[in-house]
Amino acid sequence: MTAAYHPGPADPSAVAHDATHGGAARGGHADDHAPAARHRHAWLVSIIGPASVALAFVVAVALFLAMPGEMTTPFIKTFFSWMPVGPELQINWAFQLDQLSMIMVLVITGVGTLIHIFSIGYMQDDPGYARFFAYMNLFVAFMLVLVLGSSFPVMFVGWEGVGLCSYLLIGFWFNDAANAYAGLKAFIVNRIGDFGFLTAMFLIWASVGSLDFTTVAAHAGSLTVGGPVVTTICLLLFLGCAGKSAQIPLYVWLPDAMAGPTPVSALIHAATMVTAGVYLVARTSFLFAVAPAASLTVAVIGAVTALFAATIGLKQWDIKKVLAYSTVSQLGYMFIGVGVGAYVAGMFHLMTHAFFKALLFLGAGSVIYAMHRAYHATHSHEDAQDMRNMGGLRRAMPITFVMMWIATLAIAGIPFFAGFFSKDEILGAVFQRAQGSTLAQASWLGIPGSVVLYVVYVFGLVGALLTAIYMTRLMLYTFHGPNRTGAREFEHLREAPWTMTGPIVLLGVLSAIGGAINLPAFLHLPTGATGILDRWLDPVVGAPALAIARGTTSELPSGTELLLVGLAVVIAVTGVLIAVARCRPAALVPKRDARPSEGVERVLENKYYVDELYDRVVISPVVGGSRFVLWKGIDAGLIDGLFVNGSAWLARGFGAVGSWLQSGQVGAYAWAFVIGVIAVLGAITFR
C-alpha cells in the first residue's frame, strides 16, 4: 500500500482489514469505517448513476442522427438572458450545437456511460458509494455545459464546474491527507490556468465587443494577423489549456490526481476533462489561425510535453502513474495537432485516446481490484499498484490481458489499431506544415517556423518510440513472466465481475476499430470510407486549417506520405522490440526486495525532481512570503498592530489624559484656567 494515496477499490473485507490494522482511511466520513456492509441504497444508486448518463447518451445519439453533416451554421438555443450588462455586454445562457460539440458530447456521454457501469463493480462496497456517483454525475453535467456553451462565459461555467468535480473526486478518500493535498494541488494549479482564460476573455471583449463564439469568429478577420492583441489572447487562452490539460509547466497536478478512484482517472483525468484544452483551441481555431506565433507555441509546448512525460513514464513502477504520464504525453500530441492547424487530427486523437486510455485505466483498475482482494484475503500489506508485485496476471485475468494489449498496440501506433491512424495524421500534418504554411513562414523566438516544425516532428517521432517502450514494459511486467504477488495471493487473483469486464471489452472494440472514423487516403478505399471525420468537422474548422495551410488543400505526395507512415510504423515496432529485449519480467523482484534505483533511472523515477524544484522556487518562497510578510508583517504587524491595536492604544491614551484632567478638584481647574488666560494674552502680546 503506497503512502501517497489510496491504492484501490473498496470491498467489505478491505474496510474491515483497514480498520483492524489501522490502515489508511477509506471512506470520506469518520463513520465510513464502521459499516463494512454496502451502502443502504446501493441498488438505487447503481441504477440512477449510470442510467442518467446513459439517457444523455441516447439523447446525444438522437441529436447526432438529426444533424445533417453538411450543416454550415451552428444551432444555437438561447434559454435566457444571463448577464444583461447594458447595451455593450449581453450574455445569454445559450447552447451551441455543431459538428465539433457533437463529437465531444458523444465521447463524454458514451465513454462516460461505460465508466459509470464499470464503477458499479469497482466501488460497490465503498461507504461513499452514493457520494461517488453524485460527483460523477455532476461532472458529466458540467462537462456537457463546457462543450455546449455558445460563449466564453458559459463555457467557463462548465470549465470551473469540472475543476470542482475533479477536486472533489481526487480527494474522494479525503481522510488520507495525501489524497486531500492532491486535490488541493490540482485545484490551485488549475487556478493559474484560469487566470489566463479569464484575462483572455477580458481582452476579447475589449477588442471585439462580444464573447459569443459566432460573433467573435465573425470579427476575427478584422484582427491584424500576427498582431500583439490576438497573439496575447491566444497565449492567455493556451495558459488556461495548459492548466486544464496538464501541459508544461502546469502538468504537475495530473500524476498526483491518480489519488482518486480509478474510474475517476479514466473518465476525468484521461478521456474527457483533460482534453478540454484541446477542445478550446479547436473551438477558437478562428483566433489561432491568425496568431501564428501562438500556434507555434502550442505545438512546441505540446511536443516538449509529449517527449518529457514519455521519458518519465519509462521508469515509473506504479501502474497508474505510468498511465498518468502517458496521458500527459498523449495530450501533448493533441496539442501538436491543433497547434499546427491540423484541428481534425487533434480531435481525432482526442477521440481515439478517449477509447484506449479509458480502457487502459479501467484495465489497470481491474488489476488493482484483483490485487487488492488477493492481498486482503491473505492479510498482506503489499502495494497493490506496484508492477513489481504483479507479473503473470494473464493466467488469472485473460479478458483484461487481451483488451489491455489491444489498447497498448493502439497507443503505440501499431497498424491498424485506432491510435496508429490518429497519431500518424498528426505527425504527417506537422511535416506538411513545415514544408509550406503560415507557420513555416513565421518565426518563434527568432527561430524560423519551418525549423521549429521539423524539430516538433522529430520530438513527436521520439515520443512515439518511448510510448511503445513504456507501454510494452507495463504489459510485460504486469501480465507476463512469473507471478510476484505471492503463491497464496495468486490463488485469490481472478477476473473482475461482468460490470467491469463488459465496459473493458466494448472499449477494446473501439480501440481496435475506432480509427475507421478517419481512414487516410493512401489506403485507396472507396470514396466515402476515408476522411469521414475530415468531412464532418470541415464546416467548423476547415477554414482556419486552410488559412494556416495557405489555401492549399493538397496533401503530401503519395510517396512522401507512405515514407512517413513507414517510418512511424518502424519506430513503433522498434519500441515494442526494445522493451521486449530490455524488460525481463523473470528477473524482476517484488517491491520489498528491490534495490533503490541509481543514476539516470533514479532521476526519471523521481520525475526529474520537478515537484521538488517547484517547491523550492515557487511554493516555499510564496508560503514564506505569505507567512512572514503578508501574515506576520502586514496582517499581524501593520493592520492588527498599528491600525487596530494602535488606534485602540491612541484612544486609550486620550482617555487617560482626559480622565487625569477631569479630577474633580476646583483648584486644579482654576490653575488651568489661569494658565490658559496667560497663554492667550502672551500670544496676543508677542505675536
Q: Give the residues lining the site for another protein (CB under 8 A).
A: 39, 41, 44-45, 48-49, 51-53, 55-56, 59-60, 62-63, 66-68, 71-79, 95, 97-99, 105, 109, 130-131, 133-135, 137-138, 140-142, 144-145, 148, 212-218, 221, 286, 539-540, 542-544
How far is it, in rounded angstroms, from Cα 527 to Cα 521?
Answer: 9
Grid cell listed for 647: 488606534
Q: At its nearest, how many Å lie between another protein and the CB of residue 280?
A: 14
Measured from the CB atom, the residue of 102 and 474 that comes closer to another protein is 102
Measured from the CB atom, the residue of 133 and 335 that comes closer to another protein is 133
Using CB atoms within 10 A of its CB, is residue 526 exposed (0-12), middle (13-18) or buried (19+)? exposed
Measured from the CB atom, the residue of 29 and 627 that comes closer to another protein is 29
Measured from the CB atom, the residue of 141 and 516 that comes closer to another protein is 141
Q: At its nearest, how many Å lie between another protein and the CB of residue 599?
A: 49
How far is it, in rounded angstroms, from Cα 326 to Cα 568?
Answer: 18
Q: At its nearest, how many Å lie between another protein and the CB of residue 96?
A: 9
Q: At its nearest, how many Å lie between another protein and the CB of residue 501?
A: 24
Q: Output the CA–CA distances (angstroms, integers) from residue 687 to 402, 680, 681, in the order listed.
A: 106, 11, 10
Measured from the CB atom, the residue of 28 and 277 that comes closer to another protein is 28
Q: At its nearest, how many Å lie between another protein and the CB of residue 218?
A: 5
Using CB atoms within 10 A of its CB, is residue 403 exposed (0-12), middle (13-18) or buried (19+)? buried
Question: What residues form DSSP beta bridges with 448?
Answer: 443
In 10 A of CB 29, how many CB atoms? Answer: 13
How far is it, in rounded angstroms, from Cα 433 to Cα 619?
Answer: 40
Q: 91: which residues sit within 8 A by CB, 6+ positions away?
A: 81, 82, 83, 84, 85, 151, 153, 154, 211
For β-strands 447-448 and 443-444, DSSP reports them as antiparallel
How far is it, in rounded angstroms, from Cα 463 to Cα 459?
Answer: 6
Between CA 206 and CA 210, with CA 207 as vertex, the angle to 5 degrees is: 70
Measured from the CB atom, the residue of 59 and 525 that comes closer to another protein is 59
Q: At its nearest, how many Å lie between another protein and the CB of residue 15?
A: 18
Q: Is 75 helix (H, G, I), strand (E, B) or coil?
A: strand
Q: At its nearest, how many Å lie between another protein and the CB of residue 157?
A: 10
Measured from the CB atom, the residue of 57 and 355 that comes closer to another protein is 57
- For the residues of 135-194, what is the DSSP string, one character each? HHHHHHHHHHHHHHBSBHHHHHHHHHHHHHHHHHHHTTTTTSHHHHHHHHHHHHHHHHHH
Q: Give the helix/strand (H/E) hosting 448.
A: strand 447-448
Measured from the CB atom, the residue of 87 and 664 that comes closer to another protein is 87
Cis amide bond preceding 75, omega within 30: no
Up-side HSE of residue 270: CA atoms within 13 Å toward CB? 34
Measured from the CB atom, the residue of 550 and 652 that comes closer to another protein is 550
Measured from the CB atom, the residue of 126 and 382 that comes closer to another protein is 126
Q: Give the helix/strand (H/E) hosting 94.
A: strand 89-97
Q: At its nearest, how many Å lie between another protein and the CB of residue 553?
A: 14
Are the beta carbons of 100 and 283 closer than 8 angstroms?
A: yes
Measured from the CB atom, the residue of 130 and 189 that comes closer to another protein is 130
Q: At its nearest, how many Å lie between another protein and the CB of residue 95?
A: 5
Q: 670: which residues sit within 8 A by CB, 6+ positions away?
A: none
Measured from the CB atom, the residue of 286 and 325 that comes closer to another protein is 286
Q: At its nearest, how many Å lie between another protein and the CB of residue 63?
A: 6
Q: At its nearest, how many Å lie between another protein and the CB of residue 463?
A: 32
Q: At its nearest, how many Å lie between another protein and the CB of residue 145?
A: 5
Of the candidates 91, 65, 66, 88, the residue with the CA atom closest to the CA atom of residue 80: 91
In 10 A of CB 615, how many CB atoms? Answer: 13
